[in-house]
Amino acid sequence: MSTSALSHIAPSARLGANTTIGAFCVIEDDVSIGEGCQIGHHVVIHAGTTIGDHVRIDDHTTIGKQPMRSPNSAVTSDKVQPPSQIGGRCLIGASAVLYAGCVLGEKVLVADLATIREAVTVGDFTIIGRGVAVENRCTIGRYCKLETNVYLTAYSVLEDRVFVAPGVLTSNDNYIGRSEERFNHFKGITVRRGGRLGVGAVVLPGKEIAPDGVVAAGAVLTHNAEEKTIYAGVPAAPFRAVPPEQWLENQGWDEST
């Protein structure tokens, strides 16, 4: 274990063998960091966070931050969130913020400037790209890719092998911030296994993309998308079938790993 004298490490924190800690880090009470981890400079790891073996966390990143709640927030709870959990061999970039209550699986990559809110789970081998914002109460499966500047709204579900291209936007509020009735109807998007969203696509609240469904670049999805069908246009409409050679089942990927 190697630590900088300029960092603050709580006496109750546990650091594994061959883990290195950069300068000006703060590691709070009861944090557990596994073996062979690399913690950059100016990293803050809040109380109780658990980090697996061989994890890299780059400069200026914050892990385990408790959420802030505005008095008129519709989707943020006052409840104190449990500590963050980071699986083994994850890579977390610079200036990322992972809130308390988020759970990352094994070998997840979180790129620079990404934000993952509370009550979010991210499956093994998933990539959260640069500047991506994942709001609270989302579930993201295994082997997903969320590319640069994706905005995933609260209460959304992405199943395994979902691909989300850069600049995709989603919403969970059909009332656009007006009337008390909206508080009864918040619902994010659902993308079933193997679904894909093209660059700059917009998916409206509560919409579901069926397995292997595709929303084309620049489309605005206002209705559910059917299985193995490409939707294009504004508003999006069925364009054509997904070619069989692009079906997830025909990719030859080993689903056991």
Encode pLDDT of 204-253 as tens digits.
999 999 999 999 999 999 999 999 999 999 999 999 999 999 999 999 99
Encode pLDDT of 30-39 as tens digits.
999 999 999 9
- The CATH T-level fold of domain 151-248 is UDP N-Acetylglucosamine Acyltransferase; domain 1 (2.160.10)
Residue 77: CB atoms within 10 A of its CB come to 14
Q: How far is it, in rounded angstroms, from Cα 243 to Cα 34?
A: 45
Residue 106's Cβ-side half-sphere holds a number of Cα atoms within 13 Å equal to 3
Least confident of 91-105, 120-134, 178-192, 221-235: 178-192
What is the model's pLDDT at position 186?
84
Nearest to 156 by CA among 99, 111, 108, 205: 205
Q: Where are the domains of the chain?
A: 7-67+83-143, 151-248
Encode pLDDT of 181-210 as tens digits.
887 778 999 999 999 999 999 999 999 999
- Distance of CA 96 to CAs 4, 38, 61, 162, Å? 21, 15, 5, 22
Q: How far is it, in rounded angstroms, from Cα 26 to Cα 44?
A: 5
Nearest to 170 by CA among 187, 191, 189: 189
- HEC assignment per residue over the chain: CEECCCCEECCCCEECCCCEECCCCEECCCCEECCCCEECCCCEECCCCEECCCCEECCCCEEEECCCCCCCCCCCCCCCCCCCEECCCCEECCCCEEECCCEECCCCEECCCCEECCCCEECCCCEECCCCEECCCCEECCCCEECCCCEECCCCEECCCCEECCCCEECCCCCCCCCHHHHHCCCCCEECCCCEECCCCEECCCCEECCCCEECCCCEECCCECCCEEEECCCCEEEEECCHHHCHHHCCCCCCC
What is the model's pLDDT at position 77?
67
pTM of whole model > 0.85? yes
Q: Domain 7-67+83-143, CATH 3.40.1160.10 — does that match?
A: no
151-248 matches 7-67+83-143 in CATH topology: yes
Residue type, 107: K
Confidence of residue 257 (pLDDT cuts 50, 70, 90): low
